[in-house]
Structure 1
Amino acid sequence: MISNLSPGTHSFTVAGIRQVYHVAGAGPVLVTHSGGPGVDYSYLRSPALERHFTMVYPEPVGTGDSGRLPQGATYVGTYADFLTALVDHLGTPKVYLLGHSHGGLVAQRYALDHPDRVAGIAFYSSPAMTLPEFWAATAGTTEEFLRRHADVPEAAEAVAALGRFGAPTDEAKTAALRACLPVYFADFWARKAEFKDLQAGVRGYAVSFESTHVDYRAELASISVPTVVITGRYDFICGPVWARMLHECIPGSRLVILGGSGHFGQIEEPQAFDEAVLSLLRPATVSFEDEVRATFRRGDSDAVVTMARAEVDRARAAGEPAGEVEGLYAQARVAIRGGDLPRAGELATEALEVAVRAGDRRLEERPRHVLAAVARVSGDHLRARDLYLASIELNKQLGQPELVNAELHNLAFTELHLGNLGHARDLFLAGRERVFMEGYDSFVPYLCVAAAALASAEGDHALAARMVGLTDSAYAAIGQVPDPDDALEVSAAHKAAVEFLGQDRFDQEYALGAALRPVEAFGFDPVTHD
């Protein structure tokens, strides 16, 4: 039996008018609504989102294979009525919504009228109102578009085609839409090869309304479900000014400004766009900070950069220095992992400057940690020592003993590389005891790194080989990879042990270490030490 949410194309009738929709993917139901009005839905298809949601793509009434608009149709209300009928037809108690441009207005109206049926909303390049001042503002943004593309002869033609968007026939509207499409991108001509298929395939349908003025600002404060407001920095019609207005109307909403996009962020910056929509699925207790750090420790550097850039854009737009610092810090760590130490230093310095301007000393902790790591990885261990000591003092002042322990661990490596073996050994052993006595269980894999480095420095390469095996198994057990500075320490111990023992002996010792548990190797039991 084919259900209303079976993959494929479906249709049903609303007040005698055919409504067609398409279903793909798996997971919670997310219903989209394309823009225009009167634009074919297909540009909103998203295979990436289909990996996380059961995506429902309606062909809005008046477009595609759906029926024509009824007599007296209104600019938003009629579409919201058809969206209501579709959600009822699907039979899902609550759905997520993704409304693009005019479709965002439709999603607003639906969410306001049916709050109990909505699980979360992505308002994508959509305003909170379309009063005369909204339409008048496009004159300024199209002029800015022409200035940015003064060297492109076709730019003026694309802007002129906007005046034909209200063409009276489907054929004329399609021609106008294809001609003006470049205006909707940040830089259409620089990426024309990517966008040409969209331009050639997009279809428009003639629609007409007595009025195109709506204003939902006074009502939007009632929206309480997870909400993300997304737009492109270069969106000429629903750009940052309108996104901020919408964001400020909805308490607790998240604002994401895609720095390299126009009106079609899901095509221009798909990873950042997908991350913004997927944020709707995060539990309320999972912060960006927790999620990006977990992603970094899994080794997914590309995802970290995508998430971090989006967070920096969001935080800057919202005036939230904590988010900006965290996003810059995350990018700096990826730069260290990639070996781009100058870039890591620039990002960490920028983050520190934001923290200092904010006047919140807690925000200084992460950038200062990265600056010390940059010095350590570059081999400037004297500077790294000074920076770690300063970081330790800051964390003591902030009352963060676990971070004090982490920086003492890092300080021990600088002492090791400066030739102060005894002091390094004391720091490592004291840190090991604190980890087990205080229950810092998440830090146990780092103890393994320290044990491998210390054994190597002491010339016990057989023990170092076992500790490398223990390190690898400890990180694998929690699905993480070492931080970049710790990874270098493990690699150095590994290389020295193979050179001294030979590959066969190393492999034997490595296997013995990999079979150990950290508590067995170190002689502590976190269960009995509290």
Structure 2
Amino acid sequence: MRVRSGNHVLVSGQKDGPVLLLAHGFGCDLNMWRLVLPALEERFKVVRFDHIGAGRSDPAAWDPERYATLAGYADDVLAVCAEAELRDVVFVGHSVSAMIGVLAAIREPDRFAGLVLLTPSPCYIDDGDYRGGFSRADIEELLDSLDSNYLGWSAAMAPVIMGNPERPELGEELTNSFCRTDPKMARVFAHTTFLSDNRADLAEVGTPTLVIECRHDAIAPPEVGRFVHERIPGSRLVTLDATGHCPQLSAPEATAEAIVDFASAR
């Protein structure tokens, strides 16, 4: 199904069950949820979609100005919900999509029953006492490398993002996912992702929230998960005994269990 915004949407699981809306991170597509999907489909109506510029979304819907901020992606989330008539949604956002979900829930809080923020980061750049994991120079170097040689950057960075060097097939899968993304669109999304700062938005979240972090994550270290948890009123923090930034692939059973436990209580 393709909605008017151009996102490619798939619906599975329990037709009349409570709704889980799954949003992938930078360089990925809806296929990244496949290992947690069976456990989620047993209890929920599961809606997955590709962000514009990813997967099977409509390339004609791409607008570099619209997607220069995360607000453009949040608008798409709300459009998917509206067109599919989704209510009482538990939104599951991986990586940058965690903050996209935060923005959407602030905009239309009545639409959402819960937020699951999977390895989130509201700001990747260290700032005073805040540790985002990277210096500004690190991020500038990362983006310069991506701009000059996207495929080479993908091959080098994907295994770092994935972690789990003893399981090289995971890094290869993420590399291939990055390489399927149009480099022009990926560059814009990368700048939007790594230069975003949504720390001030966290206090505005009134939706019940679960923060899921990994014990070892090169992209979103534990200090970031704790920061998000402390800034969102009433949120819960779960630390998976897992490595890497993509636990839906590296630790799918534990990831699915955390999502199911939280969503079942909404």
Q: TM-score range by the shorter chain?
A: 0.7 to 0.9
Deviation per CA, 1:382-425, whole angstroms, max 9, x where unpaired?
A: xxxxxxxxxxxxxxxxxxxxxxxxxxxxxxxxxxxxxxxxxxxx
Alignment of 1:466-481 (within 5 A): none
Cα 1:167–1:55 change in 2 (3 A) is: farther
Structure 2: stretches of 5+ with no match in the other structure? none
Report the RMSD for the aligned CA atoms in angstroms.
2.9
Change (3 A) 1:201 1:127: closer
Shift of 1:191: 1.9
Three-state SS of the structure 2 residue aligned to 1:98 is: strand
The residue correspondences of 1:347-496 to structure 2 (distance < 5 A) are: none
Q: Return the offset for 1:82.
A: 0.9
The alpha-carbon deviation at position 232 of structure 1 amounts to: 1.2
CA contact (8 A) 2:159 2:174 kept: no
Query: Any gaps of 5 or more consecutive residues in structure 1?
Result: 1-9, 143-160, 285-530
| Distance change >3 Å, CA 82–CA 241, structure 1 → 2 | same
Query: For the residues of structure 1 that align with 2:259 and 2:82, how far apart are their CA atoms?
Result: 23
Aligned residues of 2:124 and 2:132 also touching (Cα < 8 A): no
Please tell me whether the aligned partners of residues 127 and 245 of structure 1 are also in contact (alpha carbons under 8 angstroms).
no
| Alignment correspondent of 1:166 | 146
State the alpha-carbon separation in 1 of the partners of residues 265 and 28 from structure 2: 34
Matched, 1:263 2:227: no
- Whether the 8 Å contact between 1:25 and 1:52 is mirrored in structure 2 is yes
Give the number of aligned pairs: 248
- Find the aligned partners of 1:173 and 1:113 in 2 and give their Cα distance: 34
Q: Which residue of 2 aligns with 1:34?
A: 24
Q: Summarize the Cα distance change of 1:273–1:98 in structure 2 as closer, same or farther, 3 Å threshold.
A: same
Deviations 1:461-483 (A, max 9, x none): xxxxxxxxxxxxxxxxxxxxxxx
Question: Is residue 29–residue 177 contact of structure 2 (8 Å, CA) maintained in 1?
Answer: no
**Structure 2 partner of 1:137:** 133
C-alpha distance in structure 1 between counterparts of 2:144 and 2:33, whole Å: 23
Alignment of 1:287-298 (within 5 A): none
Cα distance, 1:208 vs structure 2: 1.8
Give the whole-Å Cα distance in 1 for the aligned partners of 2:173 and 2:200: 40
Q: CA deviation at 1:193?
A: 4.6
Query: Is this contact kept in 2: 1:235–1:261, CA < 8 A?
Result: yes
1:72-117 CA-to-partner distances (Å, cap 9, x unmatched) read 1223011111111111011022211011111111111101111110
Aligned partner of 1:72 among 39, 44, 65: 65
Residue 186 of structure 1 deviates from its aligned partner by 3.7
**Matching residue's letter, 1:84:** L
Q: What's the counterpart of residue 212 of structure 2?
A: 230
Which has the larger helix fraction? 1
Residue 24 of structure 1 aligns with which residue? 12
CA distance in 1, matches of 2:132, 2:197: 15
Question: 2 CA distance for matches of 1:165 and 1:112?
Answer: 34
- 1:182-214: per-residue Cα shift (whole Å, max 9, x none)? 1123422x1225654454455333332776544
Secondary structure in 2 aligned to 1:86?
Answer: helix
Aligned residue identity for 1:246: V
The answer to whether the 8 A contact 2:114-2:207 is kept is yes
Aligned to 1:372: none
Q: CA deviation at 1:175?
A: 4.9
The structure-2 alpha-carbon separation of the partners of 1:64 and 1:266, relative to structure 1 and needing over 3 Å to count, comes to: closer
Asked whether the equivalents of residues 226 and 280 of structure 1 are also in contact (C-alpha less than 8 Å), the reply is no
Q: Residue 244 of structure 1 is aligned with which of 209, 226, 232?
A: 226
Structure number with higher strand proportion: 2
Secondary structure at 1:13 match in 2:
coil
Amino acid at match of 2:47: V
TM-score (norm 1): 0.43
Structure 1 residues 162 and 54: CA distance shift in structure 2, 3 A: farther
Report the CA distance between 1:274 and its aligned residue: 1.2
Q: 1:13 aligns with which of 4, 21, 24?
A: 4
1:187 matches 2:176: no
Tell me the CA shift for residue 34 of structure 1. Answer: 1.2
CA contact (8 A) 1:138 1:236 kept: no
1:44 aligns with 2:33: yes
Cα contact 1:229–1:253 (8 A) shared by 2: yes
How far apart, in 1, do the equivalents of 2:164 and 2:157 lie?
A: 13
What SS does the corresponding residue of 1:274 show, helix, strand or coil? helix
Provide the C-alpha distance between the structure 1 equivalents of 2:200 and 2:156, rounded to a whole number of angstroms.
Answer: 36
Instruction: Tell me if the contact between 1:100 and 1:126 (Cα under 8 Å) persists in the aligned partners.
Output: yes
TM-score normalised by structure 2 residue count: 0.80
For residues 173 and 200 of structure 1, the distance between their equivalents in structure 2, rounded to whole angstroms, comes to: 12
Counterpart code for 1:39 = C
Offset of residue 221 of structure 1: 3.0
> 1:435 corresponds to which residue?
none
CA drift at 1:256: 1.2
> Any idea what SS the aligned residue of 1:82 has?
helix
Measure, in 2, the Cα distance between the counterparts of 1:52 and 1:119.
16
SS for the counterpart of 1:279 is helix
Give the superposition deviation at 1:66. Answer: 1.6
Cα gap change, 1:98 to 1:238, in 2 (>3 Å): same
For residues 93 and 250 of structure 2, the distance between their equivalents in structure 1, rounded to whole angstroms, comes to 17
Aligned to 2:188: 208
